[in-house]
Amino acid sequence: MEEFKTEIRAGAKLAIALLHYPVYDKNSRIVATAVTNFDLHDIARLAKTYGLVRYYVVTPLPEQRELALRISRHWQQGWGAEYNPKRKAALDLMTVTETLEDALADMRREFGDSVSTIATGAKGTANAVSYRDMSHLLKKDGTNYLLLLGTGWGLTENVLAGSDYVLAPITGPGDYNHLSVRSAASIIIDRLLGEHS
Amino acid sequence: MEEFKTEIRAGAKLAIALLHYPVYDKNSRIVATAVTNFDLHDIARLAKTYGLVRYYVVTPLPEQRELALRISRHWQQGWGAEYNPKRKAALDLMTVTETLEDALADMRREFGDSVSTIATGAKGTANAVSYRDMSHLLKKDGTNYLLLLGTGWGLTENVLAGSDYVLAPITGPGDYNHLSVRSAASIIIDRLLGEHS
């Protein structure tokens, strides 16, 4: 079977969490969204490409956790793993948890006690941290980081208020900034860790 | 209905084309891939956010073109447009064509004769252009650009050889770089046009 050498980057360890709850729906009600197949694959492949240490899929709904695990197992075992080892290698990073707290507890257990959270969203806040500053923090040892992404219409105010950092939103030249969570995750991780000339 | 002011950027006009043919399958055979719902939405929203002028969905298969148009119309007319005007605004950029040549002809007709193509891929070539250099070219007037993305296992050698530019591949710290076309499109467009601190 095909193997991949993935150098884990020097500096802080970075993980990503995709929250299906608590997030807003289009009418600003707090809901639990459904797990989406493409979110699992796209973000796992992104995490693997950039040397992230974990991809947490967070949902309080037992049947949704079971669905995420079933999709993951399909590519990690038997026929799926043989057919496409690249998917297996990416999904090996995926861990399904019930809550954000469970994801943080797992990170502390695996990588050390000091973990800070970085929230993301299309609105931003008055004291949002820039990509440049966050990128510098990620080059240092000592603290590890969990990047939080919201499905639906985004993370709730409570999650943002409870996070250690809130990243500046991604904006274009106009007033339309409605990227999919898959696009936003890709751009954010590349801005934080990508190296290009 | 909600409206969006999207300032078209100064400088060259940039459009994006998602090719479903000619591309490789996992065994390096040249195939036509199937249209994927998430590709249509994610890349349309990306194009709208960054002020691109068109999103061409290219496939030689008539029933696949019909499928792409049906998905697009669902969000552009009637119930879908009312339910989610953000999807409508993004899909308004989408044009379905049979061939790459048709997409180029449409661009020339709409925006002027001088159009250069920029191919992308996970392998790169000896004389690949950097994101920085391409970004500078996009700030100039005169020539417009069409960015080519491949579905499946990527654009064929012939498409790469026939393009005016080939962009450097996106790489992480290890030897795994198997991003989805949705992630790759997002990162490439942000590297070329994004402004952040």
Contact B180 A4 (CB under 8 A): no
Contact B176 A8 (CB under 8 A): no
Give the lowest-confidence range in A86-90, A118-122, B145-149. A86-90
First-last CA distance in chain B: 34
Tell me the per-residue pLDDT of B74-100, one tens digit each, with 9 for 90 and over: 888 877 788 888 888 899 999 999 999
- Residue of chain A nearest B136, judged by CA positions: A197
- Residue of chain B nearest A196, judged by CA positions: B131
Give the lowest-confidence range in A56-60, A98-102, B126-130, B156-160. B126-130
**3-state class of A189 per DSSP?**
helix
* Whether the Cβ atoms of residue A21 and residue A31 lie closer than 8 Å to each other: yes
The pLDDT of residue A77 is 84
> Residue range B19-23: average pLDDT?
98
User: Does B9 score more than 90 pLDDT?
Assistant: no
A74 or B135, higher pLDDT: B135
- Domains of chain B as residue ranges with CATH: 14-171+178-193 (3.40.1280.10)
Nearest-by-Cβ selection for A173 from B9, B131, B183: B9
Instruction: pLDDT band for A196, please (50, 70, 90 cuts).
Output: confident
* Whether the Cβ atoms of residue A110 and residue A54 lie closer than 8 Å to each other: yes
Contact B49 A84 (CB under 8 A): no
Contact B49 A8 (CB under 8 A): no
The pLDDT of residue A60 is 98
**Claim: this prediction has a pTM higher than 0.90:** yes
Contact A183 B182 (CB under 8 A): yes
Q: Which residues of B touch A168 (CB under 8 A)?
A: 196-197
Instruction: pLDDT band for B19, please (50, 70, 90 cuts).
Output: very high
Mutate to test the interface with B, among A187, A189, A191, A192 (most CBs of B within 10 A): A187
Mean predicted lDDT score pLDDT of chain A: 92
Q: What is the DSSP string of B82-108?
A: HH-HHHHHHHTTEEEESSHHHHHHHHH
Give the lowest-confidence range in A39-43, A114-118, B27-31, B124-128. B124-128
The pLDDT of residue A59 is 98
Contact A170 B196 (CB under 8 A): yes
A181: closest CA among B7, B46, B106, B8?
B46
Contact A197 B132 (CB under 8 A): yes
Tell me the per-residue pLDDT of B120-160, one tens digit each, with 9 for 90 and over: 998 878 889 999 999 999 999 899 999 999 999 999 999 99
The pLDDT of residue A138 is 96
The pLDDT of residue A121 is 93
Nearest-by-Cβ selection for A6 from B5, B7, B176: B176
Nearest-by-Cβ selection for A190 from B38, B89, B190: B190
User: Which residues make Cβ contacts (< 8 Å) with residue A196, sequence separation at least 6?
Assistant: B130, B131, B132, B168, B170, B191
The pLDDT of residue B95 is 96
> Residue range A112-119: average pLDDT?
97
* Whether the Cβ atoms of residue B94 and residue B55 lie closer than 8 Å to each other: yes
The DSSP call for residue A123 is S
Contact A172 B193 (CB under 8 A): yes
β-pairing, B144-150 vs B115-119, is: parallel
Mutate to test the interface with B, among A171, A190, A192 (most CBs of B within 10 A): A190
Mean predicted lDDT score pLDDT of chain B: 92
Share of chain B above pLDDT 70, in %: 95
The pLDDT of residue B124 is 77
Tell me the per-residue pLDDT of A142-166, one tens digit each, with 9 for 90 and over: 999 999 999 999 999 999 999 999 9
A183: closest CA among B36, B72, B49, B46?
B46
**Helix locations, chain A, DSSP H:** 37-49, 62-76, 78-83, 85-91, 100-111, 131-138, 157-161, 181-193
**CB contact burial B52-83 (16+ within 10 A = b; e otherwise):** bbbbbbbbeeeebbebbbebbebbbeeebbee
CA distance A171 to chain B (A): 7
Contact B183 A178 (CB under 8 A): no
Give me the total of CB pairs closer than 8 Å, taking one residue from chain A and one from chain B: 156
